[in-house]
Structure 1
Amino acid sequence: MRKIGITGQNGFVGNCLFNKLSLLKEEFVLVPFDKSFFESEELLRTWAIQCDVIVHLAAMNRHPDPNIIHDTNVKLVELLLKALNDTDKRPHIIFSSSTQEERDNLYGKSKREGRELFANWAKNQKSTFTGLLIPNVFGPFGKPFYNSVVATFCHQLCNNQAPKIEQDGFLKLIYVDELAEIIISIIRNNTDNPSLAIPPTQEIYVSSILEKLISYKERYFEQGIFPQLEDRFSINLFNTFRSYIDHSSYFPYMLKQHADNRGVFVEMVKLEQGGQVSFSTTYPEVTRGNHFHTRKIERFLVIKGKALIQLRRYNTEEVLNFELSGDKPSYVDMPVWYTHNIKNIGVEELYTVFWINEFFDTKDPDTYFEIV
């Protein structure tokens, strides 16, 4: 099995790639990286010598002084190359550059220079190198005001702030999971290309993105309605938006009960799209679930009995706990990359209704077992 190291593994793209590779345990071994390695030649050498493939993602994107961005990014490349030369290690290097190489700014210049340094090293060492020219990346858990305008808009909308468009540019975008899949394919195929342009999967104006996100806030965040998601980009954008909701304070979402002499009527799931609705009964002390999804949208509604719903973001430690009761019908939605379960903590049978936005496909289940 090939050993993979990722500089910047805790960053936006790095975390997604690390998590996806961690699901492929029969194919790859991950060599954990810490940013402190760049501060120690010995630690960097020790890490590098273990790697068959190094994905170099570590970089500075923003700083008040553009010269610091340039010098930092070039220095990180030089440090990594020195470690490789000191160890005589010749791994496959994959470098994340940017389409901003074409622009007249110091960030783009630093990326171009870094890619050229790696390309020349690989040529001289007869090693494999893949230089990626990547468009704008968006997706869950990106850092607002840093990684992308999508992250900034989502953060602002979920915190009742008013986003502003500085310039309504036409963006070429790729979803972070899609980029991670491309990198995994490059690793598998041992792709040797010093200037590989990664095509965007969506081209859209900034104003159109904000319009979609505002509609998600109005329909989903404020009214609890799943919006119409007409294509894969819309699903990816919606899942990105949901990742910025503070689940610990937003859920469980209490449903309105309409009571009369006949009993109680409750509207459970309001949809502008399809999917599948299921229900389950669960005996006391029994737990269901303990899995996560990377793309599916799912809602758990408790309508009878008492339940504990738990969520934990994959490869993190914090567990969110929600107690729900059929006496006050309510629901919790499952974010992507959050493993989740539901346990009957009452003395009677638990009745739960589940909605998910796509049918279960045994050939592509998007369901990964992981204890909360």
Structure 2
Amino acid sequence: MKRIGITGQFGFVGSYLFNRISLLKEEFTLVPFRRAYFEDTIALTQWVSQCDVIIHLAAMNRHPDPQVVHDTNLDLVLKLLEALEKAPSAPHVIFSSSTQEERENPYGKSKKEGRVLLREWAAEHGAPFTGMVIPNVFGPFGKPFYNSVVATFCYQLCNGEQPHIDNDGLLKLIYVDELADVIIAAIREEQDHSLLLVPHTSESYVSEILEKLQAYRHQYLENGIFPALPDKFSQQLFNTFRSFINLADYFPYQLKQHADNRGVFVEMIKLHQGGQVSFSTTLPGITRGNHFHTRKIERFLVIKGKALIELRKYNTTEVLRFELDGNQPSYVDMPIWYTHNIKNIGTDELYTVFWINEFFDPQDADTYFEVV
């Protein structure tokens, strides 16, 4: 198995890539990285020596002084090069650069200079090198006001703020999961690409992105309606938006009951798209689930009995718990990358309705089992 190390492991792209690779246990072994290694030459050299592949993502994107951005990024490359020179082996280095290389700004310059230095080291030592020039990356769990305008808009809309547009330019984008696919493919191929231009997978004006996100807030966050998601970009953007919702404040979402002498009527799911609706009965004390999805959108709705729904973000420890009671029908939606389960904590049989945005495909189940 190839041993994979990721600098910037705890950043936006790094953490997502780390999680994706961790699912490929039969093919790859991850060598954990710590930020402190860059301040400890011995520790950094030992880490480098354990890796067959190093993906260098660690970088500074923004700072009040642009020169600090340039100097910090170049310094990280120089420290990595020092460790590579001391290591007994020559790993495949994959370097994350940016389309800002073509601009005359300190960030773009630092990325281009770093790419060139690592390419020269690889050529000198006969090691494979992949220098990726990457377009704007967006996706779940990004850092607002830092990683992308998409992350900033999502954060603002989910926290009652009003976004504004400084420059309505056309953005060429790649979803973080698609970028992970490109990087994993490069690991497998182990081919030399001194300059690999990663193609964007979507493009949109900033104003168009904001318009979509505002619609998601109105339809989903304010009214509980699943919006129409006619294409992959829309689903990616919606899942990105959902990742910024404060789950503990939003769920369980209580539904309105319409009662008269005939009984009770409840509107369960409102949606502008298709998918699949299922139901289950669960005996007292039984737990269902303990799995997560990386793209699917799913709702659990309790209509009879008492349930405990638990959620935990993959590779974290905090567990969120929600108690639902069929006497007050309510639901919890499952965010992507959150392993989840549902347990009957009552004395009667539990009735649960499930909606998911796509039919189950055993060849592409997008279901990964992990106990909450």
TM-score, L = length of structure 2: 1.00
Please give the alpha-carbon distance, in whole angstroms, between the structure 2 residues aligned to 1:202 and 1:158. Answer: 24
Q: Tell me what 2:178 maps to.
A: 178
Question: Is 1:229–2:229 an aligned residue pair?
Answer: yes
Please give the alpha-carbon distance, in whole angstroms, between the structure 1 residues aligned to 2:186 and 2:173. Answer: 20
- Aligned partner of residue 363 in structure 1, secondary structure: coil
The Cα offsets for residues 110-139 of structure 1, whole Å up to 9 and x where unpaired, read as: 000000000111111111000000000000
Please give the alpha-carbon distance, in whole angstroms, between the structure 1 residues aligned to 2:227 and 2:358. Answer: 14
- Structure 1 position 104, deviation (Å): 1.2
The Cα offsets for residues 277-301 of structure 1, whole Å up to 9 and x where unpaired, read as: 0000000000000000000000000
Q: Tell me what 1:195 maps to.
A: 195
- Structure 1 position 337, deviation (Å): 0.3
Q: Which amino acid aligns with 1:5?
A: G
- Structure 1 position 87, deviation (Å): 1.6
Q: Tell me what 1:15 maps to.
A: 15
Q: Tell me what 1:135 maps to.
A: 135
Q: Tell me what 1:369 maps to.
A: 369
Q: Tell me what 2:213 maps to.
A: 213
Q: Which amino acid aligns with 2:141?
A: F
Q: Tell me what 1:4 maps to.
A: 4
Q: Which amino acid aligns with 1:33?
A: F
Matches within 5 A, 1:162-177: 162-177=162-177
- Aligned partner of residue 24 in structure 2, secondary structure: coil
Q: Tell me what 2:335 maps to.
A: 335
Please give the alpha-carbon distance, in whole angstroms, between the structure 1 residues aligned to 2:275 and 2:344. Answer: 25
Identity of matched residues, %: 70
Q: Which amino acid aligns with 2:366?
A: D
Q: Tell me what 2:24 maps to.
A: 24
Please give the alpha-carbon distance, in whole angstroms, between the structure 1 residues aligned to 2:292 and 2:88. Answer: 41
Q: Structure 1: which 5+ residue stretches go unaligned? A: none
Q: Tell me what 1:110 maps to.
A: 110
Moved >2 Å (runs of 4+): none
Indicate the larger mover: 189-198 or 106-115: 189-198
Please give the alpha-carbon distance, in whole angstroms, between the structure 2 residues aligned to 1:204 and 1:132. Answer: 22
The Cα offsets for residues 313-360 of structure 1, whole Å up to 9 and x where unpaired, read as: 000000000000000000000000000000000000000000000000
Please give the alpha-carbon distance, in whole angstroms, between the structure 2 residues aligned to 1:17 and 1:282. Answer: 36
Please give the alpha-carbon distance, in whole angstroms, between the structure 2 residues aligned to 1:104 and 1:211. Answer: 31
- Structure 1 position 59, deviation (Å): 0.3
Q: Which amino acid aligns with 2:356?
A: I
- Aligned partner of residue 214 in structure 2, secondary structure: helix
Matches within 5 A, 1:1-372: 1-372=1-372
- Structure 1 position 192, deviation (Å): 1.1
- Aligned partner of residue 333 in structure 1, secondary structure: strand
- Aligned partner of residue 112 in structure 1, secondary structure: helix
Q: Structure 2: which 5+ residue stretches go unaligned? A: none
Please give the alpha-carbon distance, in whole angstroms, between the structure 1 residues aligned to 2:11 and 2:137. Answer: 12
Please give the alpha-carbon distance, in whole angstroms, between the structure 2 residues aligned to 1:97 and 1:194. Answer: 11
Please give the alpha-carbon distance, in whole angstroms, between the structure 1 residues aligned to 2:194 and 2:136. Answer: 20
- Structure 1 position 88, deviation (Å): 3.2
Figure out how many residues of one structure are paired with residues of the other and give that number.
372
Q: Which amino acid aligns with 2:113?
A: E
- Structure 1 position 309, deviation (Å): 0.2
The Cα offsets for residues 205-235 of structure 1, whole Å up to 9 and x where unpaired, read as: 0000000000000000000000000100000
- Aligned partner of residue 21 in structure 2, secondary structure: helix
- Structure 1 position 164, deviation (Å): 0.5
TM-score, L = length of structure 1: 1.00
Q: Which amino acid aligns with 2:85?
A: N
Q: Which amino acid aligns with 2:359?
A: F
- Structure 1 position 67, deviation (Å): 0.5
- Aligned partner of residue 184 in structure 2, secondary structure: helix
Q: Which amino acid aligns with 1:73?
A: N
- Structure 1 position 89, deviation (Å): 2.2
